[in-house]
Structure 1
Amino acid sequence: MKVMERASAKINLALDVLGKRADGYHEVSMVMTTVDLADHIEIEETKREDIYIRATAPFVPEDERNLAYKAAALMKERFRIQRGLSIIIHKQIPVAAGLAGGSSDAAATIRALNRLWNLNLSTEEMMRLGTEIGSDVAFCVHGGTALATGRGEKIKGLPAPPSCWVVLAKPPVAVSTGNVYSALNLQAISHPNVQGMIQALREGSFENICRHLGNVLESVTIPAVPEVGQIKTLMKKLGADGVLMSGSGPTVFGLTQYESRAQKLVNSLKGFCGDVYAVRLIGRPS
């Protein structure tokens, strides 16, 4: 039997860092939402007991470093499954982009194996498994729009934003999330208004969502990767209603309610960076 699962990318509408935790992680407060850009995970059992990973894009680890591999290994051990697995990751989400591609692949693997092995796990149980793999995996299991706190594993669902276009642009550089957090100066950052973003979502106000976009990690990534700041400036100049870097970067997203403006943004940005997409904001659990 073969199962397929969709692994949607996410963007951060607001990302705040509150301090350093005793366990070495940072205490965060983030509003995240899913967009219509996704990898697709294809899983089937094999006669051997090992886990085989293959990805359709370069620079994706095809061994135990891969988060989908970690998810499969965890579930095999936790539920004492003796069978092997072949996992093919059909990549569409850019690698090391701040869009949670690896975390979403892990979440999709958990959901797929829940079906393949008839485990009947609830969403909450799958989210708890996800927290053992990575900070964003619980949100990616949950999907939709949510507030993530703690180290990112405490998830509280929020109303979906109004439907709009999201233009994603990733310059041809990779950013290490760990390095960005390590370089963050907690005494010098300007905190975004996360509660203002939550209220804007509850009101369904596209204008206020754009007004409350904020990401403290820009203070680290933009000086290190000037292209991020250049893309933000260009998107604003071309008429995007709200512009922000997603996660630790380097992907920048622009929000607009008009398809014609989204296409104008794509056409103008393609000469600047290779990975440019115009997608819809999903915002609801799939």
Structure 2
Amino acid sequence: MPLATTVPTNVQTAVETSPPAKLNLFLEITARRCDGFHEIDTVMVPIDLRDHLLIQRLDSSDELSMEAQWMPSSEIWTQKLSGSPQSSHLAQIPSDENNLVIRALAAFRKHFGVRCGFHSRLFKGIPAGAGMGGASSDAASALRCASLLCEPELGPAAERVEELAAIAATIGSDVPFFLGLPGQSESTVAARARGRGELLNPVSLRSPLPVVVAYPRHGLSTAEVYGRLTVPSETIDPEPFLKALSSGNRKLIGEKMTNRLTAPAREIRPEIDEMLESMWRSGLQTCQLTGSGSACFAITDTIGQARRAAARLRAMLQPGALVWATHTTTTAPRVRHAS
């Protein structure tokens, strides 16, 4: 998305990037930790549904400031969510320390001792409260942008990969995934995450996965979903799913997908059942919740099939329903100098 912005005179340089969303193809909860968090075992893929982030370096100020709006406009998103009184707050994007971009930049400055300020412009295309990791992806991109902008005093950004990963783990469970794995190649588009999400291993995909993603206009609180979860005494082994994923067999992948958070999410939002039923009736067979919800997705054989199924699903759902036909991509999008 082109950004029409005037760069202030006290800004030395600016960079921009397009943080992707993610889907959890497999998600098991293996234990509750003594710190109140949970041990997870999940396989995530980034998808080509994106936010857009521009960060400007301020050398005459140590301020961390931010502007945030929805794409293509806040008015359109407010209208889309207007039929959902419970989720009307999702149209509001925080621009203070409640936004993970600000937290990431503050953590970066503290860790590296840099004195410059940063001004961020965030354009949101990934819905909030959806389980697609938009805020975490934005935070990871903010770290990568700041690292590039601070090369004059810190040296090449490539030398800070491990330090950025350590910072990412303090911000949020999904942030390390979006930061990208060290030595990640363009063909690596999936990862298995354990611990709180910081223990990452690459997972190979035989080919990109076309997907249909649907958002029921009702967000979910991750904390509330986990609060209703009963940790299972026996957990599902991810190895059969990983083998299915490496085989590229779409039917087998669908049979082995699972999400332990589905039951508590459905208790809070019965609309998830309706969404999954609608997806199934539209011809999508491999349907599942992503993350703690409330977005659902299905894998298809081709992007053309995904587009046709998405069109049928939109016709079945209430006007304004958010449905996308997209595909898997890479976690760490290119950071480029802003014009």
Whether the TM-score (by the shorter chain) exceeds 0.5 is yes
Q: Please indicate the TM-score interval, normalised by the length of the shorter structure.
A: over 0.9
For 1:6 and 1:108, the matched residues in 2 are separated by 8
Give the 3-state SS of the residue equivalent to 1:132 in structure 2: helix
Aligned-pair distance for 1:122?
A: 4.1
For 1:146 and 1:259, the matched residues in 2 are separated by 22
Could you say which residue in structure 2 is the equivalent of 1:224? 268
Shift in alpha-carbon separation, 1:63–1:133, aligned structure 2, 3 A: same
Shift in alpha-carbon separation, 1:171–1:103, aligned structure 2, 3 A: same
For 1:157 and 1:259, the matched residues in 2 are separated by 24
For 2:238 and 2:301, the matched residues in 1 are separated by 22
1:266 aligned residue (310, 318, 330): 310
Is 2:57 the partner of 1:45?
A: yes
Could you say which residue in structure 1 is the equivalent of 2:82? none
TM-score of the superposed pair, with normalisation by structure 2: 0.79
Contact 1:45–1:85 (8 Å) recurs in 2: yes
Structure 2 matches for 1:181-260, cutoff 5 A?
181-187=226-232, 191-260=235-304
Contact 1:49–1:83 (8 Å) recurs in 2: yes
Larger mean Cα displacement after TM superposition, 244-253 or 196-205: 196-205
Structural RMSD (CA): 1.8
1:159 aligned residue (197, 204, 211): 204
Shift in alpha-carbon separation, 1:107–1:225, aligned structure 2, 3 A: same
Is 2:94 the partner of 1:81?
A: no
Could you say which residue in structure 2 is the equivalent of 1:275? 322
For 2:297 and 2:262, the matched residues in 1 are separated by 13
Shift in alpha-carbon separation, 1:107–1:285, aligned structure 2, 3 A: closer
Contact 1:240–1:261 (8 Å) recurs in 2: no
Could you say which residue in structure 2 is the equivalent of 1:141? 179
Q: 5+ residue gaps in structure 1? A: none
Give the 3-state SS of the residue equivalent to 2:35 in structure 1: coil
For 1:161 and 1:24, the matched residues in 2 are separated by 37
Contact 2:178–2:331 (8 Å) recurs in 1: no
Q: 5+ residue gaps in structure 2? A: 1-12, 71-90, 182-188, 334-339
- Structure number with larger C-alpha Rg: 2
TM-score of the superposed pair, with normalisation by structure 1: 0.93
CA displacement, residues 150-179 of structure 1 (integer Å, 9 cap, x when unaligned): 111111111025323211111111100011
Could you say which residue in structure 1 is the equivalent of 2:100? 67
Count the aligned residue pairs.
Answer: 285
Give the 3-state SS of the residue equivalent to 2:65 in structure 1: strand
Contact 1:3–1:42 (8 Å) recurs in 2: yes
For 2:111 and 2:175, the matched residues in 1 are separated by 17
% identity of equivalent residues = 29
Q: Which amino acid in 1 is paired with 2:243? A: Q
Q: Which amino acid in 1 is paired with 2:326? A: V
For 1:259 and 1:8, the matched residues in 2 are separated by 18
For 1:269 and 1:237, the matched residues in 2 are separated by 8
Could you say which residue in structure 1 is the equivalent of 2:185? none
For 2:232 and 2:176, the matched residues in 1 are separated by 29
Is 2:99 the partner of 1:55?
A: no
